[in-house]
Structure 1
Amino acid sequence: MSEQTTDTGQTDSEHPEHSEGGRYTSKGKEFTRDTRYISTRITRDGRDGFAVEAGRYRLVAARACPWANRTLIVRRLLGLEDALSVGMPGPTHDARSWTFDLDPDGKDPVLGIERLQDAYLARDPEYPRGITVPAIVDTTTGAVVTNDYAQITLDMSSEWVDHHREGAPDLYPEHLRAEIDEVNDRVFRDVNNGVYKCGFAGSQRAYDASYARLWNALDWLEDRLAGQRYLVGDSITEADVRLFTTLARFDAVYHGHFKCNRNKLSEMPALWGYARDLFQTPGFGDTIDFAQIKEHYYVVHTDINPTQIIPQGPDLSGWLTAHGRDQLGGRPFGAGTAPGPVRDDEKVSVGHSPLT
C-alpha cells in the first residue's frame, strides 16, 4: 500500500487515524479530516463513465451519520426514491467497515453484501482509506462509484433533474450559488467539521482553538437567523440541509460527547427555532433516528467513550413545540411543494424519534 497524502499535504504516517480502523484521535495533535474521496461523478452525460440511470445505482447511507443524513434528506426532498434505491447500514461498525446488520441475514438485499467494504474493494482491491458513508454503488458491478458526499447532493439537484418529482424544490438555485457556497464553506469548516475537531482533539490547545471557532460560528449563525427564516434566500437550500444534520445531533451527542458544551442548542433562541422549523418540515425530521445517532457515537468512539454507555437523554419532546419561524416569511419549498409521506420501508423505527 503506497503512502497517501491528505488535502493538507500530510501523509498517513503522520495521521495513522486516517488508515487505522477504529482510531479517531492522535495524541498531541488536532483532528484533521481525511478528505480524499472517490471523486467520480454520476452525470447526465456520463462524462466520468457513469451516466444517470434510474434503478442502476444504490445509495448506501447510515441514518446515524450526519454526512449520509444529508443525502437522505435531499433524495427525499427531490423525490428520487424510485430512481435511486437506498441501503441503510446499522448504527455501529467495527474497525473494518459499516455493516448491514439491520437487514435480513445481515446482507443488503440488493447488493448481497454484509459489509460496505466489499463494494469499495470491488472498486479498488487495495483501497487504502476509511470505508465511509454515504457511498453510491453501481449495482451492475457491485463497486462504489463515489463517496464524495458534498458533490453527491449537489449532483442530485443538478444531474438527476430528469428524475425529480413534480414540485421538487430548487435546492441549489443558480442566482444564489455563490452565497450558498460561501455559507457552506464556513459551516463545514467551523460547525459540521468543527464539532469533530473539538471531540477528536488530541491536545488541550487544539481543543481550545476548535471550541472558540465553533462558538464564533454558532454565534454568527444565531445572529444571521434572528432576522431570516433560512440561511440563504427565502426558501430551503443546500445550505440548510448541511447545517441541519449537525444541529439535529448537537444536544444529543456533540454537547457532551464532543465537549461542545458552552450551551445547548435549545438555549440559542434563533438556532433552536430554526432547527425545530426544519425538523417539522417533511423531508427533514422524518429522516432523523435519535436512537441510532446516539448508539453510533457513544459505542463506536471507544477512544473517547471507552465504557460505551449510551446516555438516556436528552428529552426530545421539544423538537415538536411551536417555533414561530413562519412569521419571518419565506416559503419552505419555494415554488415547489412538500414531498409526500415517507415510504413504509424507509420510516424511522417507532420510539426512535418524537415523530414516531
Structure 2
Amino acid sequence: MPPWNDDDAASTELVPGPVRPTAAAAESFALSVMAGPDEGRRFTVAPGLPSRVLAGTSPACDIALTDRLVSRRHAAFELAGARLRVTDLGSTNGTFVQGIRVGDAYLQGSELVRMGETVLRVEALGVTQAVELSRAVRFGKLVGASEEMRRLYPLCERLASSSVPVVIEGETGTGKEVLAEAIHEQGPRAAGPFVVFDCTAVPPTLVESALFGHERGAFTGASEARRGVFEEAHGGTLLLDEIGDLDLGLQAKLLRAIQRSEVQRVGSNRWIRVDIRVLAATRRDLEREIQAGRFRDDLFFRLAVARIELPPLRKRRGDVTVLAHHFWRQLAGRGAPFPQGFSERLEDYDWPGNVRELYNAVARRVALGE
C-alpha cells in the first residue's frame, strides 16, 4: 500500500481552510452532425460522466457514428475549462478543424470538425449547469480540499455504491491505489478482501499463474497448487494496477475471466467461479495504446464502464499545503509544530512525482530536519 495510506485516516485532522461553494459553474458544448450518414444527430459534452467522450464507429463509443471513413475510436472530446479539447486518436483518415488536420486542438465554439464524411458543428452552450462539489476534504484516505478533488468526491461516492468496473487514470504518484481502496471500503463489498495485482511487478512468464493460479506440477517450480489473485479476491475487489502494461497475449484470457466470472488455473481443465468487482488503474493513455495495437479494445470497453481521472498535484490548487500538514501529523505526531516557511517552499515546486514525491519530501524533513 502507498505509504501515505494511513490507518488512522478517519481521526486525522486537516488544515482549516476556506470551504468554497458546493457548486461551481462549468461550460458545456453541443456537437451537431451537419453532414454525413448521421446528419441531424446531436451530442452534448458536459461536466460529469463520462469525463472524456469518445467518437468513432465502435458501438461502445459515446458518439457512435456509422460513417465508414471514421475509425472505431477516431477522436476524443473533453472539457478544458471554458474550451473543448479534441484529440485525434491515431485515426486512419484524420481529424480536421476548420479544414486543417489536427492531432490536438482547443475549440471555443462555432468551429466545424470533420471526421471522414461526418461534419460536426461545435456550439458553446455556456454555463448550463453547476457541477456538484462536495463539502468533504477527503474520500476515504484520499485527501484533498481543492475544487479539482471536491468535484470528484460525489462521483467517487456514487461509483463506490455500485458494482460496475472502473478505470482510474492518472500520473504516477497521484493516489490511484488509495482511491481504489476507498471505493472498495465505502462499497457493498467492504467486508470482503481488497487485492492489488501490479501488472509491472511480476515476470511475464508468471503473470498468468499469478492472475489465475496454478496446479501442482503445472510448470517447473510449481511444487504445490496455488490460488491466483482472482480467487483471493472472491467476495471482494480486485485492483489491476498498471493494466496498460499487461502483455497483449494475456489480455484475451483476462477479458474472458472478467466476462464469465470464472478462471482456469494453469495446468487444470476445471473452471472456478469467482465473485469479484474489478477496478483497474493506469498511468497510460489507453486509447492511444489501443491505436498502437498494444491494448485490446474489447478489454478496454469491458473495464471502462466508468472512468475517473485523478488530477496531478500541480493542478490541485492549495492541496500541497493541506497534504503537507496531513503527512506531518502522520509522521511527526500531532504535537509536533509544522516548520515555519515550509509550506511556501513546497508550493513553489511542480511535484512531477505528485503526492508520492510530496510525502517523501515531508518524511525527509521529519527525519533530517532539513
TM superposition score normalised by structure 2: 0.24
Instruction: Point out which structure has higher relative CO (alpha carbons under 8 A, 6+ apart).
Output: 1
Larger helix fraction of residues: 1
TM superposition score normalised by structure 1: 0.25
Greater Cα radius of gyration, structure 1 or 2? 2
Larger strand fraction of residues: 2
